[in-house]
Amino acid sequence: MAAPVVLSPSGVPVQKDLIVLQGVCVGCQLCELACSLTHEGIMNPYLSRIRVNQIREEGIIEPTICHHCNPAPCEQSCPTKALFWASNLPGVVMFDEGKCTRCYNCVHACPFGSIQIAPQGQILKCDLCGGNPACVTVCQDRPEFHPPHWPGGKVAALAFVEPAEATRIKRLLNLRNPQK
């Protein structure tokens, strides 16, 4: 799957991935609130494009994110082309509400369950906030979380990083939890 391409502050294209660092999320749901505020103008987790799933009995807390798959099952399943590849953000699957008939084919096609349905029935699909995901900017550092061999720096449940950095971070986390 190709990483989305965003522009650096100097205007240079850079590939980046939105990733979830397993075992780091505490379930504060700030990411959901930031997402709904950014896209809808109100803080309502039911209007978020990211969802924090919690199975308290098993101690599982993990955000569900859009992976912007390539090929994208959601985009391929849409009969009206309401889901499409962004021209200004290569590698990002966008959503055009005006073309949506609410058939929900995309919801069923997504292998990660990351396309949400709002209370009024509209589709909620991550667009990476145009290359600066609000969910990542509010995801808090976990100062108590220090995996073995961790070099330091920000340790939060969400990261928007270059693919090589995503791989490095995931390998370091596997040193902490090799059974995952």
CB-based contact 83:75 (threshold 8 Å): yes
Chunked into runs of 10 residues, the chain (180 residues) has average pLDDT values of 61 78 88 97 97 87 92 97 89 94 97 95 95 94 67 78 83 59
Helix, strand, coil share of the chain (percent; to 5): 30, 20, 50
Of the candidates 37, 31, 27, which has an alpha carbon nearest to the alpha carbon of residue 18?
A: 31
- Total-model pTM: 0.84
Question: What is the signed CA dihedral for 169, 47, 130, 133, rounded to 10 degrees?
Answer: -30
3-state SS, 101-170, equals: CCCCHHHHHCCCCCCEECCCCCEECCCHHHHCCHHHHHCCCCCCCCCCCCCCCCCCCEEEECHHHHHHHH
Question: How many angstroms separate the CA atoms of 138 and 31, rounded?
Answer: 6
Per-residue pLDDT, 148: 57
Per the structure, the count of domains in the chain is 1
pLDDT value for 180 = 44
Which of 18, 125, 19 lies closest to 72, judged by CA? Answer: 125
Tell me which residue range forms the domain holding 30: 5-176
pLDDT of residue 46: 96
The pLDDT, as a whole number, for residue 59 is 82
pLDDT at 171: 79
pLDDT of residue 81: 97
pLDDT for 8: 58
The CATH number of the domain holding residue 43 is 3.30.70.20
CA-wise closest residue to 155 among 58, 20, 53, 6:
20
3-state DSSP call for residue 59? coil
